[in-house]
Amino acid sequence: MPAGLTAAETRQMQPNVNRAECPSRLVLEHVTSRWGVLVLAALLERSYRFSELRRQIGGVSEKMLAQTLQALERDGFVRRDAKPVIPPRVDYSLTPMGHEVAEQVWTLTRWVEGRLDDVFEAREAYDGARAS
């Protein structure tokens, strides 16, 4: 953030700078994004080829998968292995650092899944209180 400017002023000059205000948030968004979580989870088991991964995850468009993989590769979480053969073959796998985040995100995911019942219960209580 440039010196001599308030956060509000900076934000006005450059909309959506909030995302960039905290660099770690961008990285966090990559790994916790809709498809990022699923990609990391899949790669935690083994390496995948592009469309293999696409089928495995299910419901993800080419565009989003490519975008997600590029972000994760650029951040150093995913390794891209392009074999110069015809037809092209590209393998995606986790880097050591990627393996670390993947496990953390996976742990968090598992925790959430394990607490789903409690969450649903809380929701019913919340919605019930509102209905009256």
Q: Is 24 in the site for its own copies (CB under 8 A)?
A: yes
5, 20, 34, 83: residue in contact with its own copies (rule CB under 8 A): 34
Q: Answer with the entry of its own copies, DNA, none that 42 interacts with (C-beta below 5 to 8 A by kind).
A: none
Return the residues of window 105-124 that contact its own copies according to CB under 8 A.
105, 107-109, 111-113, 115-116, 118-119, 121-123
Question: What letter represents residue 9's amino acid?
Answer: E
Interaction pattern, residues 44-73, with its own copies; x per rule: CB under 8 A: --------------xxx------------x
CA pair distance 69, 101, nearest whole angstrom: 15
Contact 5, 17 (CB under 8 A): no
The residues, any chain, with a CB within 8 Å of residue 19's CB and separated by 6 or more, are 25, 26, 29
Report the residue number, 29 or 100, with the smaller CB distance to DNA: 29
Contact 48, 56 (CB under 8 A): yes
Q: CA angle, corner 65, sides to 96 and 60, nearest 5?
A: 125
11, 49, 54, 99: residue in contact with its own copies (rule CB under 8 A): 11
φ, ψ of residue 49 to 5 degrees: the values are -85, 165
Q: Contact positions toward DNA, by CB under 7 A? A: 11-12, 15-16, 18, 33-34, 49-52, 59-64, 66, 69-70, 80, 82, 87-90, 92
Question: What letter represents residue 7's amino acid?
Answer: A
Choose one: 47-55, 86-94, 95-103; the region binding its own copies (CB under 8 A): 95-103
